[in-house]
Structure 1
Amino acid sequence: MARTAVPYSSLLPNADVADPAGTATNAGTGNGHTIAKAVPELTVLRLVAGATGGNVTIKAGQNPPAIASAMGDLVIAVGNNATRWIGPFESGRFLQADGSLLVDIAGGFVAGTISAFKIPRNT
């Protein structure tokens, strides 16, 4: 099975953005999520847990391009009915060879959502 795509919601300079619904988490399926054409330094994730939380893992990248991938995965615990904001990230640690970011959700993480936000560069 393929990973579930998480689209970017772009934050806008000097403007507002409606709160996105997010992508339903596919906890424990072994497939996780992918953010295509990722810009890790400009990416922030929002994880919203349902009645049961669990660990969220940002997967270490592949070398190349992630020359610091040996630092390993980043694992964040998200509590029950909690919201966590994670990021921005380092390309040198998390960028995959295909230009994506990979996120895995623990099996106990039920009825949650994941959203990816792209922070704008100053214009």
Structure 2
Amino acid sequence: MARTAVPYSSLVPNGQFADPAGTAVTSGAGNGGQVAASFPELTVLRVANASGGSGTVSVLPGSLPLAAAGGQGAFTATVANSATAWLGPFESGRFIQNDGSLIIETSVAMTVTAFKIPRNT
């Protein structure tokens, strides 16, 4: 299966927006989600698990030449059933992929929302 596109939901400086529903992400290696044209240092992920059991979410490391610190490995967090976790921001030097994206994989189906933090707040 292909990775699911996880679009950014930009936070609004000095304003508000409706709570986005997020994107359903399928579990398993090679599946998961992808935030295209990412800004890792400005990215926070909200991950919700309603799968019926505990699961893990991983932000995969990038590879050379962009991710010089990719050898440190993936960032992995456990998300209990019916729980929500907030992850990030992330380091470009560790997590950015050669195509400029971030890749998220989960061990169970989860809902992922990528928030972009505005620079002018």
TM-score, normalization: structure 2? 0.94
| Matched residue, 1:86 | 87
Map of 1:121 onto structure 2: 119
Measured in 2, the distance between the counterparts of 1:11 and 1:46 equals 13
After TM superposition, the runs of 4+ consecutive aligned structure 1 residues lying more than 2 A away are none
Using the alignment, how far apart are the partners of 1:53 and 1:42 within structure 2? 27
Tell me how large the CA RMSD over aligned residues is: 1.2
Listed as ranges, the matches of 1:31-70 within 5 Å are 31-50=31-50, 51-70=52-71
How many pairs are equivalent?
A: 120
Unmatched runs of 5 consecutive residues or more in structure 1 = none
Residue type at the aligned position of 1:28: G
Q: What's the TM-score, normalizing by structure 1?
A: 0.92
Structure 2 unaligned residues grouped into runs of 5+? none
Aligned to 1:20: 20
Deviations 1:27-79 (A, max 9, x none): 23631110000000000000000022301010001111011111110110001
Give 1:80 deviation, angstroms. Answer: 1.1
